[in-house]
Amino acid sequence: MRRSWMCCLCVLFISGILAGCTANSVNLNVDSRDLPLDVEGVYKAASQTTEPLQTSDEAAPASVTIPIHGDRVNIYDSAYNQVSTSSAVIISDHSILSLTELSTELEICWYLDNEVQKCAYRRYGGDWIQFLAEDSGYRDGFGAKLYDNLFGHSGFCIVAPRGAAYYAQDYYYFDVDGVLRFLFCGTFLDVFVDFNNDGVNELIWFYHGGRDAAYYYPVGDDFFVFDIIGAISACFADWEYLEINPLSLCDDTLELTYQRGDEQYDAQIRFTADNLIVQEKSTSRENTEKRDIICAPVIKSIELSDTDGNPLVVDDWIWLKAESIITVAYEGNATRVDFYTVPTGTETVLEQKLIGMVGVAEDDRTAQLKWEVPDNFMGYIWVMVYNGDIARTSDTGYFFIKAIFEQ
């Protein structure tokens, strides 16, 4: 596909980082050819020396400040940005894979046409206009949702499986003339952030759980990508198998795990407007001022019932009905709940399927999904409860539910 390059993490130049990266003292010389130095309050590159976050103890764990220096990428090319659309199409009910009413003025439909998955939009109750076609072979996991203020645009996002381990989220928007434009190809783990507090969201792109991570941000009319994992690896040569937890974002901080020798360690990474600060866990901000921030809702229970509200029979496994209701109770504010299944025989979520997304209001404390269970389903059920772009997952422990359905 012509947008597939956006879904792959670029190999970035992190020149000047290796020289001078030491625990508690860093001297970074950054090539400034890509970034304008006259942009006030945004990501600027220059030769600089950063002071350690902790210097009182020479044996203290490492703490490194890395200037955010991305490589320019071209996603604002108007010839690339404008989406080719069809004339009006007729969609039969039996061909629909997913139909989502995003607002009173916009609907998105995934449907089958000669075994090809196609996506169409309809505005203000008018004709269906097809704008995307794929030939992935998948029949479920498709969807759509609204997004707000990404790189200065608001619009809708389509969700599509593009591999056993990959759910894509493609971002679109309508310009002032009503022309559909493509913005960005992301993943279901995308996180919106505003590290420079300019009121315009940037994005952290995650892949392979969190083993690949990149920070996309605009500077003026240009657009840049910063390789987070690559930059950290360049400063900590003995850190291996780095992985960021995408769901841990709180107060501009993310949790990081890595391996050194045969041992696994924890660290934190924190973003400011200009820098990425990496701290080993013992130098985290646990002794700094604590802030009253709700990072993610707390999942209280997940229950399954039939359409009459009767709890389903539990015999180690939950025995499903052809139509089953999944009810999630949570504590704290939430904006949506995503529901997933994982087939048996997998010990990770690499073959997970998104079976539904439910939007919730500020005062809600539960979310329900009516699920048409596939024949002979046997697997696990889990959810992600979002508060904006921060989420809590139920994929471990008590809430990782085993379920079976035999026709």
Yes or no: say if 40 and 32 are a contact pair by the CB < 8 Å rule: no
- CATH 2.60.40.10 matches 298-404: yes
CA distance 159 to 353: 11
Strand segments (E) across 162-239: 167-174, 180-187, 191-193, 202-207, 212-219, 222-227
Which of 24, 107, 8 is closest to 61 using CA atoms? 24
pLDDT score at 6: 41
- What pLDDT is recorded for position 1? 41
What distances in angstroms separate CA 80 from CA 75, 76, 87, one per listed residue? 8, 8, 20
pLDDT of residue 351: 60
**pTM (whole model) above 0.85:** no
What type of residue is 266?
Answer: D
The pLDDT value recorded for residue 173 is 94
Domain ranges for the chain, please list them: 4-68+193-287, 83-178, 298-404
User: How many residues belong to the chain?
Assistant: 407
pLDDT in tens, the chain (407 residues): 434 334 433 333 334 443 334 333 232 222 222 322 222 222 222 222 333 333 334 455 578 899 998 888 876 544 447 788 888 999 999 999 989 999 889 999 999 998 899 999 999 999 999 999 888 778 877 888 899 999 999 999 998 887 655 678 899 999 999 999 998 888 877 889 999 888 999 999 988 778 899 999 988 878 899 999 999 999 888 899 899 988 788 888 999 989 888 888 889 999 998 999 998 875 333 333 333 444 577 788 889 999 999 998 877 688 899 999 999 999 888 889 999 887 765 444 446 688 999 999 888 999 999 999 988 888 888 888 888 777 777 754 445 577 877 66
Query: Whole-angstrom Cα distance, residue 17 to residue 37?
Result: 20
Element (H, E) at 229: helix 228-235
